[in-house]
Chains A and B, each alone.
Chain A
Amino acid sequence: MPMKSYRAAINEAMAGEMRRDSSVIVMGEDVSGGTGAPGEDDAWGGPLGVTKGLHTEFGPTRVLDTPIAEGGFIGAAAGAAVTGMRPIVDLMFVDFLGVCFDAIYNQAGKFRYMFGGKAETPLVVRTMYGAGLRAASQHSQVLYSLFTHVPGVKVVVPSNPYDAKGLMIQSIRDNDPVVFFEHKAMYDEEADVPDEAYTVPFGEANVVREGEDVTIVAIGKMVHLANEAADNLANDGISCTVIDPRTVSPLDEETILEEVEATGRLVVVDESHPRCSMAADISSIVAQKAFKSLKAAIEKVTAPHCPVPFAPELEDLYIPKVEDVEAAVRRTMA
Chain B
Amino acid sequence: MQLSRDELLSAYRTMATARHFEESVFQNFSDGKIPGFVHLSAGQEATAAGVYMALDERDWIATTHRAHGQCIARGLDLQETMDEIYGATTGVCGGKGGSMHIADLDKGMLGANGIIGATGPLAVGAGLSARAKGENGVAVAFYGDGGSNQGLIFEAYNLANIWKLPVIFICEDNGYAEATPSSYSVAGSQVARANGFGMPAVEVDGFDFFAVYDAMREAVERARNGEGPSLIHIKTARFYGHFVGDAQTYRGDGEIDKLRAEKDCLNMFREKVVETGLLTGEQLDEIFEEERARVADAASAAQVAPRATEADLMTDVYASY
Contacts and interface: CB of A to CB of B under 8 A. Distances in A.
A313 B184 contact: no
B37 A311 contact: no
B307 A313 contact: yes
A62 interface: no
A67 B149 contact: yes
Interface string B300-321: 0000000111101110010111
Given A137-B114, A314-B312, A305 B255 contact: no
B87 A69 contact: no
The A interface, classified by DSSP as helix, strand, loop or mixed, is loop
Contacts of B117: 68, 99
Nearest to A75: B151
Interface in A95-149: 95-96, 98-99, 133-139
Interface in B168-182: 176-181
Given A38-B251, A67-B186, A310-B101, A30 B178 contact: yes
B127 interface: no
Most chain B beta-carbon neighbours within 10 Å: one of A39, A72, A275, A318: A39
Interface in A290-320: 304-306, 309-314, 317-318
B96 interface: yes
Contact of A317 (B87, B98, B313): B313
B180 A138 contact: no
Interface stretch (A9-17, A40-48, A223-231): A40-48
B319 A68 contact: no
Given A40-B250, A136-B98, A305-B320, A35 B180 contact: yes
B116 interface: yes
Interface residues of A, number: 44
A213 interface: no
B267 interface: no
A65 interface: yes
A121 to B, nearest CB: 22
Contact of B101 (A71, A134, A137): A137
Nearest to B86: A311
B179 A37 contact: yes
Interface string A56-79: 000000000111110110000000
Contact of B95 (A36, A47, A133, A314): A314
Contacts of A98: 115
Interface of A: 29-30, 33-40, 43-44, 47, 65-69, 71-72, 95-96, 98-99, 133-139, 274-275, 304-306, 309-314, 317-318
22 contacts: A29-B180, A36-B183, A36-B185, A37-B180, A40-B250, A65-B184, A68-B149, A96-B116, A99-B115, A134-B36, A138-B100, A274-B321, A304-B314, A305-B317, A305-B320, A305-B321, A306-B314, A310-B36, A311-B88, A312-B87, A313-B307, A317-B310
Interface of B: 35-37, 87-89, 94-101, 113-117, 146-147, 149-152, 176-181, 183-186, 247-253, 255, 307-310, 312-314, 317, 319-321
